Amino acid sequence: MSAWSRIVRAWRTIERGHDAVFTARWRQGLRREARRQEDTLRALVMLESLGVDNPVAYETLDLVPYLVADLHEWHQRMGRESFGDPGVCC
């Protein structure tokens, strides 16, 4: 076994240890916060598409095509069986 492969293997072991000590404890909280931020962004974009003034309209306008892709997952997580008019999502 070469010295390089031993270094790589040792580095991966250190990464796993770091993940176990520093990240794993807070992973659920980090995911929850990321989901909350994504939901806020989706709500801003959806409100804008419904005609409600958006304070960050210029920055979110280009994001609409990207957010359409995960609309189905979002409305199910929010507790709605279907969303919008027929053909919009479900």
Number of domains in the chain: 1
Q: Which domain holds residue 35?
A: 3-77
86 belongs to a structural domain:
no
CA distances (Å), origin 29, targets 74, 75, 76? 19, 21, 21
31 belongs to a structural domain:
yes
90 belongs to a structural domain:
no
pLDDT tens-digit readout, 2-19: 899 999 999 999 999 988
pTM: 0.48
Q: Is 20 exposed, middle or buried (0-12, 13-18, 19+ CB in 10 A)?
A: exposed
41 belongs to a structural domain:
yes
69 belongs to a structural domain:
yes
37 belongs to a structural domain:
yes
CA distances (Å), origin 50, targets 46, 47, 54, 84, 85? 6, 5, 10, 11, 13
82 belongs to a structural domain:
no
pLDDT tens-digit readout, 16-66: 998 888 887 888 898 999 999 988 888 887 887 788 887 777 777 777 777
30 belongs to a structural domain:
yes
